[in-house]
């Protein structure tokens, strides 16, 4: 070993690494639990929104456009690793349930334009509609951390809101509840 290039080795280095890893785990846990319960409550009327589709058309989509469907509304950003992980499960859900009246809508709140989000979605093979928000929808839905996901029933009422990564099974359970309501 050359003097001056020494790196922490052995137990001391391992101890520091484990301590840093533990701090990261605690920070993530605190961050995700800090915002739990801060979503709109189940049973509340879902706020109206209108966002620009990221499909090159310049069109917008609103909650009224999705009326009569179960809506999975996912607020996300390209710089959010849990958002990207959640996106994979949402793509599977979209493919499996779109014929049953389930509309998945990804709403980017990261500040990128519609063209950037369209290119991003294409690179990731995302088949469900993506949109960009000017901040109004995120504010109406109390988005304080990402990802934030809502399941909205056919009646326009909130079935569930989640802050932080939601496993596909948990999302599907909430969608199932919404599909069961007439």
> What confidence score (pLDDT) does residue 38 get?
87
> What confidence score (pLDDT) does residue 37 get?
53
Residue 13: is its pLDDT beyond 80? Answer: no
The band of 41, judged by pLDDT with boundaries at 50, 70 and 90, is: very high
The band of 3, judged by pLDDT with boundaries at 50, 70 and 90, is: low
Indicate the length of the chain as a whole number. 182
What does DSSP assign to residue 177? H
User: pTM for the whole thing?
Assistant: 0.80
As a whole number, mean pLDDT of residues 35-64 equals 92
At 67-80, the pLDDT tens digits run 999 999 999 999 99
Domain layout of the chain by residue ranges: 50-180
As a whole number, mean pLDDT of residues 81-90 equals 97
Token output for 97: 């349930």
User: Of 140, 116, 117, which is closest to residue 128 (Cα–Cα)?
Assistant: 117
Q: Please give the biggest Cα pair distance in the chain.
A: 73
Contacts of 54 (CB under 8 A, 6+ apart): 108, 114, 115, 117, 118, 121, 129, 130, 131, 132
* CATH numeric code, 50-180: 3.40.30.10
């Amino acid at each position: 070993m050359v003097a001056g290039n020494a790196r922490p080795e052995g137990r001391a280095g391992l101890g520091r690494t484990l301590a840093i890893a533990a701090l990261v785990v605690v920070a993530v846990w605190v961050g995700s639990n800090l915002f739990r319960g801060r979503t709109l409550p189940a049973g509340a009327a879902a706020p109206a929104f209108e966002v620009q589709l990221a499909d090159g058309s310049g069109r917008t989509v609103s909650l009224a456009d999705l009326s009569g469907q179960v809506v999975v509304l996912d607020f996300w950003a390209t710089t959010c690793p849990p958002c990207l992980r959640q996106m994979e499960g949402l793509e599977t859900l979209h493919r499996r349930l779109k014929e049953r009246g389930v509309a998945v809508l990804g709403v980017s709140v990261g500040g990128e334009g519609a063209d950037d989000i369209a290119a991003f979605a294409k690179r990731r093979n995302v088949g469900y509609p993506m949109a960009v928000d000017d901040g109004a929808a995120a504010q109406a839905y109390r988005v304080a951390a990402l990802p934030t996901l809502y399941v909205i029933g056919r009646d326009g009422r909130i079935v569930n809101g989640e802050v932080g990564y939601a496993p596909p099974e948990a999302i599907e359970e909430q969608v199932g509840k919404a599909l069961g309501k007439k």
